[in-house]
Each structure stands twice: as C-alpha cells, then as structure tokens.
Amino acid sequence: MLLSDKSPGPDGIHPHYLKSCAHALAKPLSLIFRCSYDTGALPTDWKLANISPVFKKGSRSDPSNYRPISLTSVPCKIMESILKERIVGFIESSNGFNKFQHGF
C-alpha cells in the first residue's frame, strides 16, 4: 500500500502524485518493473538515496543520539513491495517457514 503522506525520494516524485495518477502510470511502471526483472538491474536513479539524521533521545549535541534514515525512490519501493508480497506468499504456500525460524 502506498501512503501519500510519505516524503519524496531523491527523484523528487511525491507519493501523492503517484497515487493520484495511478491509472495513467500503471502501464509505464509495469514496463519498467518487467524490464528490471528481466535484466536483473535497477534504473540508476533508483539506487540513489537522501540520507537524513533523525533524533532518537538524549542530548541533541551528541551525534550518537541520531539514527540515519534513507529516502529512496517511491517507484522502487512499490516494486520492492510487490516482490516481497510474492516471495512471502510463495514461501508460506510451500510451507517454507519452519516453526523454529525467527527474526529480529
């Protein structure tokens, strides 16, 4: 699901514009996604990120009290979401998860 209240990535494309133009952009984006799947490569612009420090807690003058966040391309996030859903769905349907597996 694409949230339109998120920040744009380095490409400057705001999620609100993608959401409001979804019908017109679905075909072009699907062609880009298909090309990326077929070649195994991402568009160069999708590999860029704006990294910003976000304050956690404590003294604001201590650099260790900040964590980095990276703002990446929204179309790339959409493609990642589609891939994740398909991969997790496949693993779940084929009983690929073991009850002893866990994450962090």
Which residue type, as a one-letter code, is found at position 66?
A: Y
Integer Cα distance of 42 and 27 in angstroms: 17
The residue extents of the domains of the chain are 15-93
Q: 3-state class of 69 per DSSP?
A: strand
pLDDT at 7: 77
pLDDT average, residue stretch 84-104: 83
| Contact between 10 and 48 (Cβ < 8 Å) | yes
Share of the chain above pLDDT 70, in %: 93
Q: How confident is residue 3, by pLDDT bands cut at 50, 70 and 90? A: low
Instruction: Please report the pLDDT score of residue 30 as a whole number.
Output: 94
Per DSSP, what are the bridge partners of residue 66?
A: 55
pLDDT of 59 over the 90 cut: yes
What pLDDT, on a 0 to 100 scale, did the predictor assign at position 68?
A: 93
DSSP 38-67: HHT---GGGG-EEEEEEE-SS-TT-GGGEE
